[in-house]
Structure 1
Amino acid sequence: MATPTPATLAPLAERADAPSVLPPLAAGGLTWRPATVDDAGTLLDLRNTVAEADGEPYRETLEELREILGAPWQRLGTDSVLGLDEAGALRAYGYVETMPGDTTRVRAFLWGAVHPDRRGEGIGRELFAWQEARARQLLAATGTALPGRIAGFLEDTAPATKVRLYERAGFAPRRYYSDLERDLRDLAAHPLPVVEPEGGLRLLPLDDAHDDAARLAHNDAFRDHWGSEPQTREQWRSGRATYAPEWSFVVVDPEPDVAALLADPRTDAETADALRAGEPLVVGYHVAARYEADFAVRGYPFGYTDILGVRRAYRGRKVAVALLAAGMRAFAADGMAVAALDVDTQNPSGAHGLYASLGYTTRHGSRLLTIEL
Structure 2
Amino acid sequence: MTSAPTTRQPLAPIAERAAPPAEVPVPQVDGLTWRPLAVADAPALFRLVSAVEEHDQHPFRTSLEETEEIFEGDWRDLPRDTLVGLDADGEPRAYASVDTRPGDTTVVRAFVQGAVHPQWRGRAVGRQVLAWSTARARQLLAASGKELPARIAGYVQDDDAPERRLFEAAGFTATRFYSTLRRDLSLPVPEVTLGEGLRVVPWTPELDEATRLAHNDAFRDHWGSEPATPESWVHGRSMFAPEWSVLVVDDTPATSTGPDGVAPRASTGPDGPVVAGYLLSGRYEQDWPVAGYSSGYTETLGVRRDYRGRKIAVALLSAGMAAYKAGGVEYAELDVDTENPSGAHGLYASLGYEKKDGSRMYSIEL
Is the 8 Å Cα contact of residues 37 and 70 (structure 1) preserved in structure 2?
no
Partner-residue secondary structure (3-state), 1:270: coil
SS at match of 1:269: coil
RMSD: 1.8
| Mean CA deviation greater in 270-279 or 361-370 | 270-279
- 3-state SS of paired residue (1:127): helix
| Counterparts of 2:296 and 2:172, CA distance in 1 | 33
TM-score by length of 1: 0.93
User: For residues 28 and 243 of structure 2, what CA distance do their matches in structure 1 show?
Assistant: 49
Q: Which string of whole-angstrom CA distances, capped at 9 and with x for unpartnered residues, describes residues 221-241 of structure 1?
A: 110110000101111112221
Question: Shift of residue 274 of structure 1?
Answer: 7.0
Q: Distance in 1 between matches of 2:278 and 2:210?
A: 10
Q: Which residue does 1:191 correspond to in 2?
A: 188
Report the CA distance between 1:73 and its aligned residue.
2.2
Q: CA deviation at 1:131?
A: 0.6
| 1:285 partnered with 2:282 | no
CA drift at 1:173: 1.0
* Corresponding residue for residue 150 of structure 1: 152
Deviation at 1:101, TM superposition (A): 1.2
Q: Could you say which residue in structure 2 is the equivalent of 1:57?
A: 59
Q: Post-superposition shift, 1:10?
A: 1.7
CA contact (8 A) 1:55 1:157 kept: no
Structure 2 partner of 1:367: 360
The residue type paired with residue 38 of structure 1 is A
1: CA distance between counterparts of 2:136 and 2:41?
Answer: 21
| Alignment match, 1:269 | 261
Does residue 1:233 correspond to 2:225, yes or no?
Answer: no
Q: Which among 308, 317, 326 is matched to residue 319 of structure 2?
A: 326
Q: Distance in 2 between matches of 1:2 and 1:148?
A: 21
User: Which 5+ residue runs of structure 2 have no aligned equivalent?
Assistant: none
Q: Output the amino acid matched with 2:248.
A: V
Contact residue 180 and residue 356 of structure 2 kept, 8 A: yes
Q: 1:129 to 1:335 in 2, by over 3 A?
A: same
Structure 1: tracts of 5 or more residues without a match: none
Give the total of aligned pairs: 361
What is the Cα deviation at residue 272 of structure 1?
6.3
- Matched residues in 2 for 1:34 and 1:195: separation? 51
2:213 aligned to which of 213, 216, 232: 216
Deviation string, structure 1 residues 35-76 (Cα, Å, up to 9, x no partner): 011111010111111111112111122222213322222211
1:269 is aligned with what amino acid? G
Counterparts of 1:1-373 in structure 2, within 5 Å, are 2=6, 4=8, 8-160=10-162, 162-184=163-185, 186=186, 190-258=187-255, 261-262=256-257, 267-271=259-263, 277-373=270-366
> Which AA in structure 1 matches 2:157?
E
For 1:84, the aligned partner's letter is: L
Matched residue type, 2:231: E
How far does residue 320 in structure 1 lie from its aligned partner after superposition? 0.4
State the AA in 2 paired with 1:296: P
- SS of the residue aligned with 1:282? strand
Runs (4 or more) in structure 1 with deviation over 3 Å come to 1-5, 271-279
Alpha-carbon deviations, 1:71-121, whole Å to 9, x = none? 222211101100011222211000100011111111000000100111010
CA displacement 1:284-322 (0-9 Å, x = unmatched)? 001011001111111111101010000111010000000
Looking at structure 1, the residues matched to 65 and 198 of structure 2 have their Cα atoms a distance apart, in angstroms, of 36
Q: Relative to structure 1, is the Cα distance of residues 83 and 3 closer, same or farther in structure 2, using a 3 angstrom cutoff? A: farther
Q: Is the 8 A contact 2:250 2:274 kept in 1?
A: yes
Amino acid aligned to 2:75: W
Kept after mapping to 2: 8 A contact 1:201/1:252: yes
CA contact (8 A) 2:180 2:358 kept: yes
Shift of 1:196: 2.2
| Structure 1 residues 227-263: Cα deviation after superposition (integer angstroms, max 9, x where no partner) | 00010111111222111111111001100441xx24x
* TM-score using structure 2 length: 0.94
SS in 2 for 1:86: coil
Residue aligned with 1:29, SS: coil
Cα–Cα, structure 1 residues 217 and 272, in superposed 2: closer, same or farther, change >3 Å? closer
